[in-house]
Structure 1
Amino acid sequence: MTTERSTTRYTGIAIALHWTIAFLVIAMAAMGWWMVDAITDPSTQQAAYRVFQLHKSIGFAILALTAIRIVWRLTHPAPPLPPGMKWWEVFLAKATHIGFYGLLIAIPLTGWAYVSAGWAVSTDRPLNVATSWFGLFQVPHLPGFEGDRNAAYGAMGAHSLLVWAGVVLVALHAGAALKHQFIDRDGVLGQMVPFLRRDNDEHSGHIGKTSASSYPSMFAAVAGVLAVVAVALTGWSWSQPGPLAIAATPVAETAITVTEVAAQPSATSDAATEATATAWVIDKAASSIVFSGTHAGSPFEGRFNEWTGDIRFDPDDLSGSKAVVIIDTASARTGDATQENSIGTGEWFNSARFPQARFETSTFAALGEDRYEAKGTLTIKDKPFPVTLPFRLIIDNGVANVEGTVELDRTELDLGMFSDPAAEWVSQMIDVKIVVRAAAN
């Protein structure tokens, strides 16, 4: 029984891989043709950006599944072709299969080379976007391509030609399968379509049912592939941006009780050397640094998860007041894995080389009632920039609540200037909102 099944039909795993890859390829073609034009239209740019990220993730999935399919094919020979086939039909059948394997490897690789180059062919401008596989982990760029315009055009040209070659092969493959099924009636299509599979009469041409003993491996393979797809799509869904749960308490006129106060790390204790005002201990659970702007025409919002602050402040001793805030740039989160991975790259925060941004005040001024402003220096990528931060302050029962917003020009800060110097993708102005709750030390 085992020998007969292995020589008259494909294995269940081969069938599952074949149809999974076929479905993904069809979906990829539809997405690719749509997003090429949609990415340049402001009304569809945001949707095209999402589809582009999904397109990349599916491309890597196809590459991995094809590698598995080739290994499986080498270790599990295909069923024999019908003996009545002409020599040229046999040649075309084998050449088509080899061509498919080559294309299913070459098309994702040329796409990978294109995104690695960081150059948008549609606009002929730099566009360096990180790749996140369904939001689960970052895929590195291929080395040697970054910023290479010629490589981008070459890779995209090859990618497009290979896709059209794939269309031709699909047409030939489908046409040959239909010829075998309805003209030759030799049951070849039944080798890959379970419900068309023949019974043990190898060349009767009759359509029969699959025996129950052939189901387990096929069902197990299908279940495994579906499980991987489900996990990947779940990760991609989680990676899409949505409203962030910002743990911040707005300034209020009523008394506030601090139930949990975080100790201040020594990294920012240098403020104490120049300040004589009261020291404050920040409640990190009720404090936040949030940034917002627009991306591809749609608003986005993010926050820094890791930061520390050393605050010495007294409304009656502004000259003796000082604050130093140090931000871990790699901790920026927007809810979109692709955005988060891009933020840490060289043209943005370059977190690997410059892991911290720093804001240090130089002077405080009272503006009346509960309003103040802090002038200081914001240092990003070791470059200092003057910043004025207006804020509101309410102190009640030894608890201080601060809320301030400052608008920063990312072109002045040299953020994203390789890919988007004209602010066509990411807004030029970025709002940064600071909310701090602290208790007198």
Structure 2
Amino acid sequence: MKPIKGLLLASLFASTVAGAAPLKTDPAKSSVSAVFKQMDVPVEAPFKQFSAQIDYDASKPAAARASVDIATASLDIGDPDMNKEVAKKEWFNSAQFPKASFVSSSITPAGAGKLTVAGKLSIKGKAANVSFPLTVKLEGGKHVFEGQLPIRRLAFNIGEGEWKDTSMVADEVVIKFRVTAAP
């Protein structure tokens, strides 16, 4: 059995935040990745396909809303065989659960350029309420939302059977994201 370098999503999951006016996401300047340890070696694997819908007005951050969908089969661990492996039933089961999603339930100001985002993260048929900090700044007239959402892969049944053993792939995964969007 080959070691799996990555997992998770969420990335998604977790991934973005938003406000009161619809923004257009710039996919070329946005990213979502899973960061984890495989055999105690840090790995960062990007999700190649995701979409984010963000409503955000800096003057009304509490009115913000966000949702993110991540194609679970798009995790790129850097090896085609491993990429196929993580799409299998034991990992993401991408055939049955093609996407992971995050939908915000509240976004609250947490200081200058900072927000706290809460919402529901759904991966592989399991849903959990999550909360994470987010920074927002302007770059070249665009809003840049950045953050990290720590999750436990086993809570979402990512790594079933013999892959539940966390000595090969750690249970702790961080969904890391940067979403650039403009009006």
Given that residues 378 and 386 in structure 1 are in contact (C-alpha distance below 8 angstroms), is that contact kept between their aligned partners in structure 2? yes
What corresponds to 2:176 in structure 1? 433
Shift of 1:289: 0.1
What corresponds to 2:93 in structure 1? 350
- How many angstroms apart in 1 are the aligned matches of 2:52 and 2:112? 25
Task: Give the root-mean-square deviation of aligned CA atoms.
Answer: 2.0
Alignment TM-score, normalising by the size of structure 1: 0.37
Amino acid at match of 1:357: A
**Stretches of structure 2 lacking an aligned partner (at least 5 in a row):** 6-17
What corresponds to 2:14 in structure 1? none
Given that residues 19 and 58 in structure 2 are in contact (C-alpha distance below 8 angstroms), is that contact kept between their aligned partners in structure 1? no
Structure 1 residues 336 and 393, CA gap change in structure 2 (3 angstroms): same
Q: Say whether 1:418 aligns with 2:161.
A: yes
- How many angstroms apart in 1 are the aligned matches of 2:68 and 2:93? 19
Q: Say whether 1:323 aligns with 2:66.
A: yes
- How many angstroms apart in 2 are the aligned matches of 1:396 and 1:386? 30
SS at match of 1:291: strand
SS at match of 1:285: helix
Amino acid at match of 1:407: P
- How many angstroms apart in 2 are the aligned matches of 1:316 and 1:376? 21
**Stretches of structure 1 lacking an aligned partner (at least 5 in a row):** 1-127, 131-240, 242-274
Query: Larger radius of gyration, structure 1 or 2?
Result: 1
Q: Say whether 1:406 aligns with 2:149.
A: yes
What corresponds to 2:80 in structure 1? 337
Counting aligned pairs with the same residue, the percent is 28
Structure 1 residues 397 and 420, CA gap change in structure 2 (3 angstroms): closer
Shift of 1:276: 7.7
Amino acid at match of 1:362: S
Shift of 1:395: 2.6
Q: Say whether 1:378 aligns with 2:128.
A: no
- How many angstroms apart in 1 are the aligned matches of 2:116 and 2:149? 11
Moved over 6 A (4+): none
Number of residues paired by the alignment?
Answer: 170
Q: For 1:291-341, what per-residue CA distance to the aligned partner results, in whole angstroms no more than 9, with x for missing partners? A: 111112322221110111110012332342211111111111010233212
- How many angstroms apart in 1 are the aligned matches of 2:36 and 2:19? 37
Amino acid at match of 2:85: S
- The structure where helix makes up a greater share of residues is 1
- How many angstroms apart in 1 are the aligned matches of 2:151 and 2:34? 10
What corresponds to 1:310 in structure 2? 53
Give the counterpart of 1:389 among 132, 138, 160: 132
- How many angstroms apart in 2 are the aligned matches of 1:276 and 1:410? 29
- How many angstroms apart in 2 are the aligned matches of 1:289 and 1:327? 8
- The structure where strand makes up a greater share of residues is 2
Given that residues 115 and 135 in structure 2 are in contact (C-alpha distance below 8 angstroms), is that contact kept between their aligned partners in structure 1? yes
User: Which of 1 and 2 has higher RCO (CA within 8 Å, sep 6+)?
Assistant: 2
